[in-house]
Amino acid sequence: MENFESQVAFWDRVSSLAGEKKRGFSAREVLAAAEPFLLPSKKVLDVGCGQGGISKAMARHVHSVRAIDISSGMIAVAKSDNEGAPISNISFEVGSVFSLSDNENDWNMITSFNVLPYIINLERMLCRLSNMLPPGGLFLISSACLGERMSLLRMLVVTLSKLEIMPKLHQFKSRNLVNLLNDAGFEILEIKKISRLPEYFIACKKR
């Protein structure tokens, strides 16, 4: 399951399994770490928004949020959840950073939470994100770094990936991710371990 179409199909299948009502520990920790950076002046592009729970939470702090995901199923759930108690400064749409026009860059912050390990060509993705930000623009991420320790979860992920039940995950270490971010033109502002997985929150800005 290493091509784009297979990944879209997988996320469409699981899109109904976790909406805002099921937001868990990881999302709470991500939001707590991100909150100091969520200022009223920030126009946010949220990449890989999933069902939109974190996107909606961020929208309460910032100027606006444009939330995108490659899965139409995920976006359908996000839009449905937003109908009950609509938040006016957020939009949800199917898309990726490569489907957006180069002229669509009216944001000064990009976020991508629990997404990067699933990206097939991570170096290309990070360079694209860097090019989409103005100098000094912020990039906030959270990511599992399964390469840092052997665990039952890591073994399970490897097995499920080999069986093509779930997409392949990068099993990098936090220092590998930091190096990739530096190579893409980002300066690290903060790195914080937020779970025993381990999962890290990283805030950086475009140089």
| Burial of residue 75 (number of CB atoms within 10 Å: 0-12, 13-18, 19+) | buried
Q: What is the pLDDT of residue 103?
A: 79
User: Where exactly are the structural domains of the chain?
Assistant: 4-14+24-206
Asked whether the beta carbons of 146 and 169 are under 8 A apart, the reply is yes
> CA-to-CA distance for 96 and 181, rounded, in angstroms?
19
Q: What is the mean pLDDT of the chain?
A: 90
The fold of 4-14+24-206 is: Rossmann fold (3.40.50)
Three-class DSSP category at 70: coil
pTM assigned to the model: 0.91
Report which of 101, 99, 128 is spatially closest to residue 112, judged by C-alpha positions. 128
Q: How confident is the model at residue 18 (pLDDT cuts 50, 70, 90)?
A: low
Strands (E), the chain: 43-47, 64-69, 90-94, 109-113, 138-144, 186-195, 199-206
